[in-house]
């Protein structure tokens, strides 16, 4: 009788780490909970900041969830999912980046026991999807539509949404001032587009936070300038503005250029030709009757002095984004040639142009632009680190106001909506039987992480306040949430703690999908770095020590 030995097949590269099963899911959940531990202290008005030091030694002080996760060098593949949903929330909505990570981690934390007890991950996933769909449907029932509001009421609503977004930021003490800046900035944009990239943000260290300026137009830092610049006028009323992508400078010959001449007069002709070209350009610009000349390319000392003698202001090497925003604000177009300048179509204008000294910098400012679909915020602060955090805070508020303007449905903030959803899901779970009931109850419990963490970060008794909120919501007070000003609970709709409902919907969807993704992965294969000459990625199957079959 002959026996055939099964050959040993090695599919993966030697040294490849593989782990699978229930233990792998629990390990991935624990990695996500480590991220939650890092972020949870930053949530809410009393959330603490985190000091991050990069590999280059640069420090960042922030409590913005997306920024923290971006700066952290997260290597665990499951934990990276939280980094991705945080960035997604930041790009799509702009706020709620910390909340979405806390929610996802808490959902996983409450599902961890089910996994350890042997429940199928597919059963849990179905329950989570149903819970999320129920919660989103309830949000849409609870949201308040502000579509019918007058212009004044709409402005007040946007201010309140901006204030709510700033409550957890470094600028909360100056919230009223910055909220007005943010709302005014967003309202200058085209309502059909609302492109936040058209809000220019410039930073000048020094001065108080409330020295920050809103410019209904464009402002940019004085560019590199040549001799003769100081002789140019620095203020114009209703100027004509010419924007170019043309170099106005005498260029030296290239090192490898070769010009063969037989007479000295021929050399003079070459020099005269070069001067003739640039003087022709300058005279055509002057003939266009413009007062201000801007160019993406250099404007040399000859052109600078030429314009100064004729009462024209010029600036070369203007940044692309600044010049693009100037065109949107003042009109006209960016020309690549000065031939046949159309005075009506190619020149822009504004009410006033001036060069101002702001702190230690000089700024060129275009005010009162007739086609203004753009604006500029000039931020001031004690140090560049503070200004950087102000910029991150304003970005969140700008995105929230933009979303509120597009989707005029709001819900009460301060944990009110989470407590109402939690109560709704618990009540719903009592109507069904089986495993799904447990999953929905765990999802309801997970939603309470937001108000609970708000309490803990404020140093309050979370058990007492959450019990109060449960009591109010059980009695139909659906807008009651945390009032951290009075260390109690209050009707946050009346207190004007508002948030666009789209923020909560997006956060719930992203958090649930992230949790489902982690729960659906029960095997991880991690390749070693490629050895010299090895197969890339260790993905090519190969055999090792395969004995010849016996009994042949």
Q: Is the dihedral of CA 116, 119, 125, 130 positive or negative?
A: negative
**Up-side HSE of residue 144: CA atoms within 13 Å toward CB?**
16
Catalytic site residue from 42, 62, 67, 97: 97
CA 220/CA 365 separation, integer angstroms: 7
CB 198 within 8 A of CB 92: no
Catalytic site residue from 62, 67, 98, 512: 98
Report residue 60: phi and psi, to 5°: -135, 130
Catalytic site residue from 64, 95, 324, 346: 64
Q: How far is CA 25 from the centre of its chain?
A: 31
Q: Among all chains, which residue has been given the structure tokens 């909970």?
A: 33
Task: Check residue 538 and report its DSSP letter.
Answer: G
Catalytic site residue from 42, 346, 396, 512: 396
CA 389/CA 169 separation, integer angstroms: 8
Q: How far from 314 is each of 37, 299, 317, 415, CA to CA, in Å?
A: 54, 8, 10, 54
Q: Which long-range contacts (CB under 8 A, 24 or more apart) does 12-18 make?
A: 12/525, 12/527, 12/538, 13/527, 13/528, 13/534, 13/535, 13/538, 13/539, 14/544, 15/528, 16/525, 16/526, 16/527, 16/528, 16/538, 17/524, 17/525, 17/526, 17/528, 18/523, 18/524, 18/525, 18/526
Structure tokens at 329: 């604000």
Q: How far from 10 is each of 115, 212, 305, CA to CA, in Å?
A: 31, 65, 77
Give the CA diameter of the chain. Answer: 110
Using CB atoms within 10 A of its CB, is residue 265 exposed (0-12), middle (13-18) or buried (19+)? exposed
Of 225, 227, 335, 353, the C-alpha closest to 284 is 335
> Using alpha carbons only, what angle is made at residue 27 by residues 513 and 42, rounded to the nearest 5 degrees?
65
Please indicate whether residue 97 is annotated as part of the active site.
Answer: yes
CA 361/CA 482 separation, integer angstroms: 44
> Using alpha carbons only, what angle is made at residue 63 by residues 139 and 483, rounded to the nearest 5 degrees?
50
How much helix, strand and coil, in percent to the nearest 5, is found in the chain? 50, 15, 35
Please indicate whether residue 98 is annotated as part of the active site.
Answer: yes
Please indicate whether residue 396 is annotated as part of the active site.
Answer: yes
Q: Among all chains, which residue has been given the structure tokens 């201000």?
A: 292
Structure tokens at 464: 């007492």
Beta strands 480-483; 488-491: pairing state: antiparallel
Q: Tell me the catalytic residues.
A: 64, 97-98, 396
């Amino acid at each position: 009788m002959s026996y055939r030995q099964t050959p040993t097949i090695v599919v993966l590269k030697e040294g490849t780490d593989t782990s699978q099963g229930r233990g792998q899911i629990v390990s991935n959940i624990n990695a996500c909970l480590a991220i939650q531990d890092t972020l949870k202290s930053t949530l809410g008005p009393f959330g603490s900041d985190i000091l991050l030091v990069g590999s280059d030694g640069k420090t960042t002080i922030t409590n913005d969830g997306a920024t923290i996760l971006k700066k952290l060098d997260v290597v665990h593949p499951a934990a990276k999912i939280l980094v991705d949903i945080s960035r997604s929330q930041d790009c799509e909505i702009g706020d709620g980046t910390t909340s979405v990570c806390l929610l996802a981690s808490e959902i996983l934390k409450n599902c961890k026991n089910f996994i350890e007890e042997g429940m199928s991950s597919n059963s849990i996933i179905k329950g989570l999807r149903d819970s999320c769909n129920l919660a989103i449907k309830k949000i849409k029932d609870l949201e308040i539509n502000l579509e019918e509001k007058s212009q004044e009421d709409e402005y007040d609503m946007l201010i309140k949404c901006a204030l709510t977004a700033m409550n957890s930021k470094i600028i909360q003490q100056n919230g009223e001032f910055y909220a007005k800046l943010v709302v005014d900035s967003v309202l200058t944009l085209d309502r059909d587009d609302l492109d936040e990239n058209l809000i220019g943000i410039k930073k000048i260290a020094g001065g108080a936070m409330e020295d920050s300026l809103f410019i209904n137009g464009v402002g940019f830092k004085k560019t590199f300038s040549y001799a003769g610049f100081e002789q140019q006028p620095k203020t114009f009323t209703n100027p004509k503005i010419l924007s170019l992508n043309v170099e106005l400078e005498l260029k030296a010959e290239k090192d490898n250029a070769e010009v063969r001449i037989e007479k000295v007069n021929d050399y003079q002709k070459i020099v005269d030709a070069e001067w003739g070209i640039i003087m022709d350009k300058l005279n055509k610009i002057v003939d266009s009757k413009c007062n201000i000349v801007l160019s993406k390319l250099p404007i040399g000392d000859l052109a600078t002095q030429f314009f100064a003698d004729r009462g024209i202001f010029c600036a070369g090497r203007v940044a692309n984004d600044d010049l693009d925003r100037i065109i949107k604000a003042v009109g006209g177009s960016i020309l690549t040639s000065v031939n046949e300048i159309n005075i009506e179509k190619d020149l822009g204008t504004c009410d006033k142009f001036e060069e101002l000294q702001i702190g230690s910098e000089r700024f060129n400012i275009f005010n009162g632009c007739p086609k203004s679909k753009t604006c500029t915020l000039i931020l001031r602060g004690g140090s560049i680190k503070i200004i950087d955090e102000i910029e991150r805070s304003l970005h969140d508020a700008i995105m929230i106001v933009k979303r509120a303007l597009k989707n005029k449905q709001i819900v009460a903030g301060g944990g009110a909506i989470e407590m109402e959803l939690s109560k709704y899901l618990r009540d719903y779970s009592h109507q069904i039987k089986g495993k799904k009931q447990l999953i929905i109850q765990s999802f309801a419990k997970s939603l309470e992480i937001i108000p609970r963490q708000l309490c803990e970060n404020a140093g309050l008794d979370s058990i007492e306040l959450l019990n109060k909120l449960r009591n109010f919501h059980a009695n139909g007070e659906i807008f009651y949430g945390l009032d951290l000003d009075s260390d109690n609970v209050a009707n946050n709709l009346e207190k004007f703690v508002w948030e666009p409902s789209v923020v909560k919907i997006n956060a719930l969807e992203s958090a649930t999908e992230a949790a489902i993704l982690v729960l659906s992965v029960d095997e991880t294969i991690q390749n070693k770095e490629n050895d010299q000459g090895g197969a890339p990625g260790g993905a090519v199957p190969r055999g090792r020590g395969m004995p010849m079959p016996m009994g042949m």
